[in-house]
Amino acid sequence: MRRRPFPALWPAVTRAPLVPLRPLRDMLTRRRQVDGAGEGHRMTNDPIAAYAARLRAERNDPERAERLRDDRRRRRRGIAVIAAGGVLALGGLGFWLATVTDGERPANEPFAPGTLEEAMWPEEWPVTIRMPYRSSPAARWKSGAEDMVPPSARPVGRLTGPEVEAGLEAVRGFLEEANFSGDTLEGEGTEGALELLAPGDPARSLLEDLPGRGAEGRDPLRLVTRFDPEEVYVAEEPRVQGSMTYEATPEGELLVHADYTIVYAVVMVEGGWEVAGREEATRVVVRRVLDTVVRDGKLAPRTYTSLIANDDCTAPDDGFVHPLFSRELAEKKNWKKVDPYAAGSRPDAAMLGACLMPTRT
């Protein structure tokens, strides 16, 4: 016979009273109904449901349309007031600008330059001594005569390589003395350039007897660059770009072709315009084209032509370059315009001393 587990408990279990099942089932049913009612009550208090109910109520409200019309009218009146205020403010600003500038401000006149870095100034604004080559094609060129390097020397005709090299160096030295030497640029003597010209050569007459003074006419400027030391000074090392080639003449001499453009940044000695607390600068562009024979280390020029852009043709013909600054250039609107950087044929000799307006410097 199989034994029951926990025999000591069975008498108590068998003697326990039976619980009726129907009352228990009814009690559970009522509890579910109460819980369901509670859940429904919570659903009716849900924020989303309440918001939806409020929208339905407002949509059915007969006064809602009138309230919306009033709200739109108030908004339109506010926008109109703001727009009218803006128009009045802009009109006042325009009137002030017209009063200050007589209705038109020149493109070359800086407007609040201190608020911008000079490198960001418009191209039409004046340049200063701080960045004299700003917005110039020459800003990326090499500086000084040291970078005016002759081509490699090779034997040509009856000339040896060293002879060609010596001739090229003589031409480079002449261009340096004529266009980069401090004495020449400051209107002093031109002895360095004279020493490199062949004795008795007609070109020497253009440079003799010039130390410390001007000259009659503009002829010296055909070969050298000189500024009046009482008027302007060169503010930074000139920029240069160009080329040099060579060949042998039928007579067996060395013929050198040199074509260089040199850009000078100059500043007035006194009385110049200050832009954002800095002295104004201006640029002069000089193109030199020289064809010369070299004999025994001396130059015998065959042809030499020049173009000087930004030189006042109304100034005295005293052998000096007289640069114009931004305000003066703006007044020369009727002068013939020329681009000194344009590639092309050699300059016309008649251009020297002509009234030319450079389109860029």
How far apart are the C-alpha atoms of 352 and 335, rounded to whole Å?
Answer: 14
- Contact assessment for residue 159 and residue 254, using Cβ atoms and an 8 Å cutoff: yes
- Which residue shows structure tokens 């770009």? 241
Report the candidate in 287, 336, 280, 283 with the shortest Cα–Cα distance to residue 313.
336
Angstrom distance (rounded) from CA 229 to CA 211: 12
Q: Give the residue, 147 or 93, on which the prediction is more confident.
A: 147
pLDDT at position 232 over 90 = yes
User: In this predicted model, what pLDDT tens digit does every residue of 95-145 receive, in sequence order?
Assistant: 555 444 444 555 555 555 555 677 777 888 889 999 999 999 999 999 988
Q: Mapping DSSP to helix (H, G, I), strand (E, B) and coil, where does residue 267 land?
A: strand
Q: What per-residue confidence (pLDDT) applies to 90? A: 66
Residue 158 predicted with pLDDT over 60:
yes
Torsion sign over Cα 197, 203, 205, 206:
negative
* Range among 59-63, 226-230, 355-359 rated most confident: 226-230
Tokens 């209107």 belong to 187
Residue 7, pLDDT > 80, answer: no
Q: Which of 100-114, 231-245, 267-281 has the highest mean pLDDT?
A: 231-245
**Among the ranges given (152-156, 285-289, 330-334), the one the predictor scored with the smallest mean pLDDT:** 330-334
Average pLDDT (155-163) is 95
Q: Which residue has the tokens 């020497």?
A: 204
Q: Are 153 and 164 in contact (CB under 8 A)?
A: yes
